[in-house]
Amino acid sequence: MTNNKRNEIIAILAKQEQQFISGQMLSEQLQISRTAIWKHMNELKKDGYQFESVPKKGYRLLAKPNQLNESSIKWGLDTNWLGQTIIFKEQIGSTQDLAHELARKGEKHGTVIIANRQLAGRGRMEKRWLSDDNGGIWLSMVLRPTIPPHQASQMTLFVAVTLVDTLERLTDQTIQIKWPNDLFINGKKLAGILTEMQAELEAIQYLIIGFGINVNQNINNFSEDIRHKSTSLKIVSSQEWNRTELIQFILQDFEGAYQNYLRTGFEPIKQKWLKHAYKFNDSIFIKTGQEAFYATIKGITDDGALMVCDEQKQDRVIYSAEIYW
């Protein structure tokens, strides 16, 4: 409730632009005391908001903070349902784990969990995802889609395509998608995606979409064993990026793309994926539980599996494997 009141204060002051609004008017609109308004304003100042306060005139908002927090993300976020509830943690084990915990308790569709640092970030097949710094975007969202469980595998590719659309537009970088869940720039990993679900035979109870994006890291922020294969938006563009604004654009674009996906299906996503596919028509080495072989990437199926052609010119469909690129 406290954070909601602060978000409401920011929303009211933001709408007034450069106009003052009195403490009494804020008190009446929010139905709390003027003392409570004063306390909330002081807490918002700690978050980095700048206000001008003039006796008999009231308050006006001068600037929003650069640091990442719930209030700064919600101020200016133009969505109908995605991110209307934001849970921000300065430090957490894993946003994905917290999202699961909340979803099991009935957390609503569209809730977003964001952390400044993750101590136990993880990716596909329980691989560790290095996210113990405040230079990236570490985010998970709770979705309750009306698609059948067998289509859930499409969601990782949908998220990849949606992130590429947003990040390419904002950064002017060329980004590729490495099947099934990584984004690459110049042959190095920029982002990873993790899709997990709880489902029954015919219905998805909830879907957790998580992703980590390297934004403002320098090369020294990566451990020595991954420096040669990791990158960030700052490294490739030579500039710092406002993570709050990036998150807002991502959530806004995601909401619109999600509605289009439910309406038009997977085919448009599939075609965009093919245009951005990493090492499309190139040879890769595939290792499954039963065999290992070289093959050439040819595309993806309608359920998101990888289509390849092996050295014997046999077409194969790969659902899960260790791939050496």
CA atoms in the 13 A half-sphere facing the CB of 202? 0
* Residue 149 neighbours by CB distance under 10 Å: 17
- Count of residues in the chain: 325
Is 144 marked as binding a ligand?
no
Q: Rounded distance, CA 280 to CA 260, Å?
A: 26
DSSP per residue, 273-319 = HHHHBTTTTSEEEEE-SS-EEEEEEEEE-TTSPEEEEETTS-EEEES
Cα gap 74→10, rounded to integer Å: 9
Contacts of 46 (CB under 8 A, 6+ apart): none
Query: Burial letters for 209-236: b for 16+ Cβ neighbours within 10 Å, e otherwise?
Result: bbbbbbbbbeeebbeeeeeeebbbbbbb
DSSP 108: P
Q: Using CA atoms in the order 236, 271, 248, 211, what is the torsion angle rounded to 10 degrees?
A: -70
Neighbours of 247 (CB within 10 A): 22
Phi, psi torsion values for 207, nearest 5 degrees: -125, 135
Question: How many CB atoms within 10 Å of residue 287?
Answer: 12
DSSP state of 141: E
Task: Classify residue 228 by its DSSP letter.
Answer: G
* 255: amino acid identity, one letter: E
Is 122 annotated as a binding-site member?
yes
The answer to whether the annotation marks 189 as part of a ligand binding site is yes
SS3 240: coil
Widest pairwise Cα distance in the chain:
83
Could you tell me which residues are annotated as the binding site for biotin?
118, 122-124, 189
Could you tell me which residues are annotated as the binding site?
118, 122-124, 189
